[in-house]
Amino acid sequence: MPFQLVHTNFNVLDLKKSMDFYQNMLGLKEVKRIVAPDDSFIIVYMADEKNYCQLELTWLRDREEPYDLGEKEFHIAFTTSDFDAAYKKHKESGVICFENPAMGIYFIEDPDGYWVEIMPK
């Protein structure tokens, strides 16, 4: 029986700030939104133009403290056909948090501290 990864979830403190980050840094767009009837949560699904896998951003109204991200050993990864231009954009934006030139990759950090790996196609 085959399975397909559909989305991964990040809980966020500032939904607009997170959405802006993923749109501006990775080109993701909102493709779906769920709002609780009592406004206690909002879930926004963001995806690239091919919409193979989505990033689910969950905002909880009553959450005020930052999320515990452990040792930050988990991450999501994106490939790009123009690695040099992506690196330049991310470097100029100040979002690169770790580089591994030997492996040819780097990581950017979102407003909540989640790491996103960037690698060439």
CATH 3.10.180.10 corresponds to the domain 72-121: yes
How far is the CA of 1 from the CAs of 4, 6, 92, in angstroms?
10, 16, 45
Over residues 19-58, the pLDDT tens digits come to: 999 999 999 999 999 999 999 999 999 999 888 889 999 9
How many other CB atoms sit within 10 Å of the CB of residue 56? Answer: 16
The active-site residue, picked from 30, 56, 99, 117, is 117
Enumerate the domain spans of the chain. 1-62, 72-121
Model pTM?
0.92
Q: Is 117 a catalytic residue?
A: yes
Tokens at residue 113, please?
């501290």
CA dihedral 84, 89, 69, 42 (to 10 degrees): -120
pLDDT per residue over 71-105, tens digit each?
Answer: 877 899 999 999 999 999 999 999 999 999 999 99
The helices-and-strands tally (H runs, E runs) of the chain is 2, 8
| CATH (residue range 1-62) | 3.10.180.10
